[in-house]
Structure 1
Amino acid sequence: MPDFRCSFASLEDAEPIVGTAPTDPEILLVECPGPWGREAVTDNRLPEAVREHLGGLDLKVFLLRRYDGSAGPGTRVFHATATAEGYDVRGTVLERPDDLLDLDLGRDSTSLTAYDGPLWLVCTNGKRDRCCAELGRPIAGLLSQEWPEGTWETTHLGGHRFSGTLLALPSGLTLGRLDTATALAACEAVERGEVPTEWVRGRAGRSGAEQARELHVLAGGDPTDEVVAVPGPARRQSCGDDKVKGTTHYEVRRSR
């Protein structure tokens, strides 16, 4: 099926998106212009020592690039740690990528300073999945007109089949099934502190069940209801390969 598009198939099947946001409690974002390979963190234009270093870190690493291909001066780096509200985001600008080898990411580190602006991280790695590039890049272009400093293309967020998808920081809200007709309004809502539930996959940094519970309560559900993970149908989850994998959905069991 050379013309298969995972996002179209998922939408046609009405696959639920709730509870599918990344669960990573700690994230490192590194500016890396130029092309990315399928395994982007280790297949890019950064120096070999830096690629090996990033690939060996015990946390999730995303690479960043600007929609228009511009870069620098320096290398932008952000470190995000999950909190009860979303993520605590800190950043810095390194003189050269090799400085990543000595960057201190500890909680008491003075290497990074608080970053207060919004970050819109749009998944666009076409070498990993065609839907991310075909749907994500136009969204990144649109958002970069409104937030030129805060908008970045990023590597694999997970959930290709929910493209166009983006991670919003510091809220951690992960949006899916966006297009150029809906992305701007959805991000404006997030910036106002709202949760645009029509497009929200969940709040990253939490388990899938916790993400589903939050959205259930926001929709008026009883906070004491139980949210449980249940197996969903096996499906092809990516345009990038033919593998079929199981899925997980979340059900609400009402309190008596």
Structure 2
Amino acid sequence: MTDTERFFCADAARTRHDPLAGTAPYGTVWILIEYRQGWPVNGFAGLDLDSHTKALVMEAAQQAQARILLIRRPGRRDSGDDNRWAVLCHGKGGTLLQRWGIWRRDADLTQIIPALEAPGTSDLRPVILVCAHGLHDTCCAVRGLPTGRMLSSLWPDLVWECSHVGGDRFAANIVVVPDGVYYGGLDARTAITVIEEHMADRIRADHLRGYTTLSPPQQAAVIAVLRQFGPAGRNDYTIGETVRHDRGWHIKVTGRPPHLSELSVEVLPRRTSPRQLTCRGPADSSAVRYEVTSIRTPSPSIDE
């Protein structure tokens, strides 16, 4: 690359065919804070807010193992309405909870703290977050902004731009919460298909980075099953026994009808050679990719 050429990590990842499977960070609780002005590189931590309020919210988020994301509506930023905040939780048994509020003063954000203890109602539609944090990584703006605008034209009440979600090289990145589903490698056209399918509870392997309730090898196992046997609902496959062995993992995946009831999946980790992974990365880094080497149905017993 010459001095005049600019490096874009998402372009490089697509050229290398970097795999998406197993790249969704673990998480079951999200704090969303609407902030319509520019986002600092480190998101909420860098905002010019009352330091005491900010410390309380960050401490509560850490104790709840919640991720704080800044949000704003795509397009023109109207400053006339109150800012919103939300706590979203993917609870036990797949219960999806949301609690929303408004804030006018910095101190109003302390409402988030009790909301983490009682995260609200389960009758709300999912929230579609499109990473557009350009100050954190250029590709998130270049690819995320047009994707967010397109989706917002179809689902204006559900779509928000958000701050850094991880995996910049997979921009445009979309996270559906509190479902806990990461998608990547998208553009305005493919994002429409992905979200249409998601809203119909038909999750496909294409563009799927993983479910945030699973570990990376478990994510890779489920994605491989979806790729081989076709799309399925968010909760149609569950993870059973996961055994770590000297080379990788043996993972049992259980399906609900009409899907196969039980599958055994072998997953091996592979570390890539060092390469530049983000637009602003100061040095080359390696990444772990999760290779599924086999998917088997259990052998029938002798008595069958």
TM-score by length of 2: 0.76
Q: What corresponds to 1:17 in structure 2?
A: 20
After the TM superposition, which residues 24-173 of structure 1 pair with which residues of structure 2 at under 5 Å, given as runs?
Answer: 24-56=27-59, 57-58=61-62, 59-67=66-74, 68-70=76-78, 73-83=81-91, 88-96=96-104, 97-103=106-112, 104-107=114-117, 109=118, 112-114=120-122, 116-173=124-181
Q: What corresponds to 2:245 in structure 1?
A: none
Aligned residue for 1:10, secondary structure, equals helix
Alpha-carbon distance, 1:85 to partner: 6.9
Rounded Cα–Cα distance in structure 2 between residues aligned with 1:86 and 1:233: 37
Residues 80, 87 of structure 1: 8 Å contact kept: no
Rounded Cα–Cα distance in structure 2 between residues aligned with 1:156 and 1:92: 21
Q: Give the direction of change, closer, same or farther, for the CA distance of 1:36–1:78 in structure 2 (3 Å limit).
A: same
Q: Give the direction of change, closer, same or farther, for the CA distance of 1:230–1:241 in structure 2 (3 Å limit).
A: closer
Length, aligned pairs only: 254
Bigger Cα Rg:
2
Unaligned runs of 5+ in 2: 230-261, 300-304
Alpha-carbon distance, 1:243 to partner: 2.3
Question: Percent of pairs identical after alignment?
Answer: 26
Rounded Cα–Cα distance in structure 2 between residues aligned with 1:83 and 1:212: 22
Residues 34, 44 of structure 1: 8 Å contact kept: no
Greater than 6 Å deviation, 4+ residue runs: none
Q: Give the direction of change, closer, same or farther, for the CA distance of 1:86–1:34 in structure 2 (3 Å limit).
A: farther
Alpha-carbon distance, 1:71 to partner: 5.0
Unaligned runs of 5+ in 1: none
Amino acid at match of 1:204: T
Rounded Cα–Cα distance in structure 1 between residues aligned with 2:54 and 2:24: 26
**147-156 vs 165-174, which moves further:** 165-174
Q: What corresponds to 2:286 in structure 1?
A: 246
Aligned residue for 2:188, secondary structure, equals coil
Rounded Cα–Cα distance in structure 1 between residues aligned with 2:53 and 2:147: 29
Residues 122, 136 of structure 1: 8 Å contact kept: yes
Q: Deviations over 1:188-224 (max 9, x none)?
A: 1110101132111111232111111111222237721
- Higher helix proportion: 2
TM-score by length of 1: 0.89
Of 263, 266, 276 in structure 2, the residue corresponding to residue 236 of structure 1 is 276
Q: Give the direction of change, closer, same or farther, for the CA distance of 1:83–1:159 in structure 2 (3 Å limit).
A: same
Higher relative contact order (CA 8 A, sep 6+): 1
Q: Give the direction of change, closer, same or farther, for the CA distance of 1:38–1:95 in structure 2 (3 Å limit).
A: closer
**216-225 vs 113-122, which moves further:** 216-225
Amino acid at match of 2:15: E
Residues 40, 63 of structure 1: 8 Å contact kept: yes
Q: Give the direction of change, closer, same or farther, for the CA distance of 1:84–1:177 in structure 2 (3 Å limit).
A: farther
**8-17 vs 38-47, which moves further:** 38-47
RMSD: 2.3
Q: Give the direction of change, closer, same or farther, for the CA distance of 1:218–1:229 in structure 2 (3 Å limit).
A: same
Amino acid at match of 2:44: V
Residues 86, 205 of structure 1: 8 Å contact kept: no
**163-172 vs 79-88, which moves further:** 79-88
Rounded Cα–Cα distance in structure 1 between residues aligned with 2:93 and 2:183: 17
